[in-house]
């Protein structure tokens, strides 16, 4: 039984890094048939596979298309397992408001982060591109968000991140909301400079960063507590 359980969990994980939705379907069904807790199947199965993907992305063995396909495989598994989640065993990890900053219309990196976060169990509100500070703040307030995620792909537009953190400060929301930033020209150093809590170097790592941010939510916000070097 336990050997079987391990094999099934491994199969679920493998299906994700092997980018194989059919395999995810097969092992999700086997998990259900074997009576494996759906929460465990997701967290100890599928999510483990996504960690492998994250590591492969770090080494650039995998790239954007593979990340999309991995997420697809994982979501296929999650969709099957979801009805079996116990009512109180929520997979909800936190609420994120995400967008590309004002002046910038690059979407792919931001879309990937949103997809990864959703796949990992976050509730994500994607405000699209060219997003002004008031829109970030309005939505964050409305949804009682844990995290604001900002993306910028240009050295000119990334400066806007500071405008948003300053606005947060001004309206007194900075203590309650964690800020994570990313995008090709952004660095950890820059993230610190604009008053963000964390920097994620790519979409796969963003999940770990976001999880740590939520876990660290008891600490006072506004200083970079979360290391970016995850994964």
Separation between Cα atoms, residue 194 and residue 201, nearest integer Å? 16
Residues numbered 111 to 130 that lie near other proteins (CB under 8 A) are 111, 129-130
**Binding status of residue 107 toward other proteins by CB under 8 A:** yes
Runs of H (alpha helix) within the chain: 2-17, 21-33, 38-40, 47-58, 64-81, 108-119, 133-142, 160-170, 188-193, 203-215
Binding segment for other proteins (CB under 8 A), chosen from 73-81, 83-91, 151-159, 209-217, is 151-159
* Closer to other proteins by Cβ: residue 95 or 201: 201
Pick from 85, 159, 173, 214: which binds other proteins (CB under 8 A)?
Answer: 159
Q: How far is CA 73 from the centre of its chain?
A: 16
Pick from 156, 170, 171, 229: which binds other proteins (CB under 8 A)?
Answer: 156
* Closer to other proteins by Cβ: residue 27 or 57: 57
Phi and psi at residue 126, to the nearest 5°? -95, 115
**Binding status of residue 193 toward other proteins by CB under 8 A:** no
* Closer to other proteins by Cβ: residue 93 or 202: 202
Region of residue 154 (left: phi > 0; alpha: psi -120 to 50; beta: else): beta
8 A C-beta contact, residue 29 and residue 15? no
Q: How far is the CB of 189 from other proteins (least distance, A)?
A: 7
> Rg of the Cα trace of the chain?
18
Strand partners, 58: none
Pick from 72, 84, 103, 216: which binds other proteins (CB under 8 A)?
Answer: 103
Separation between Cα atoms, residue 8 and residue 204, nearest integer Å? 24
What is the pattern of x (binds other proteins, CB under 8 A) and - over residues 57-96? -xxxxxxxxx-x----------------------------
Interface residues toward other proteins, by CB under 8 A: 58-66, 68, 102-108, 111, 129-130, 154-157, 159, 184-185, 187, 189-190
């Amino acid at each position: 039984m336990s050997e079987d359980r391990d094999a099934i969990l491994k199969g679920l994980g493998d299906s994700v890094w092997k980018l194989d939705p059919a395999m995810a379907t097969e092992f999700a069904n086997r998990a259900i048939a074997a009576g494996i807790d759906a929460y465990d199947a997701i967290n100890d199965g599928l999510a483990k596979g996504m960690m492998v993907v994250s590591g492969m992305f770090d080494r650039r063995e995998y790239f954007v298309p593979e990340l999309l396909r991995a997420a697809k495989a994982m979501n296929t598994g999650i969709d099957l397992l979801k009805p079996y989640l116990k009512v109180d065993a929520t997979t909800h990890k936190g609420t994120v408001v995400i967008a590309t900053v004002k002046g910038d219309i690059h979407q792919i990196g931001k879309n990937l982060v949103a997809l990864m976060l959703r796949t990992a169990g976050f509730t994500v509100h994607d405000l699209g591109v060219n997003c002004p500070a008031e829109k970030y703040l309005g939505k964050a307030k409305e949804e009682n968000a844990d995290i604001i995620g900002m993306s910028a792909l240009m050295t000119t537009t990334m400066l806007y991140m500071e405008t948003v953190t300053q606005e947060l400060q001004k309206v007194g929301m900075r203590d309650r909301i964690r800020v994570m930033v990313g995008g090709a020209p952004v660095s950890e150093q820059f993230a610190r400079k604009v008053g963000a809590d964390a920097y994620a170097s790519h979409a796969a790592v963003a999940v770990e960063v976001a999880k740590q941010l939520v876990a660290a939510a008891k600490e006072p916000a506004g200083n970079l507590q979360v290391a970016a070097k995850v994964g």
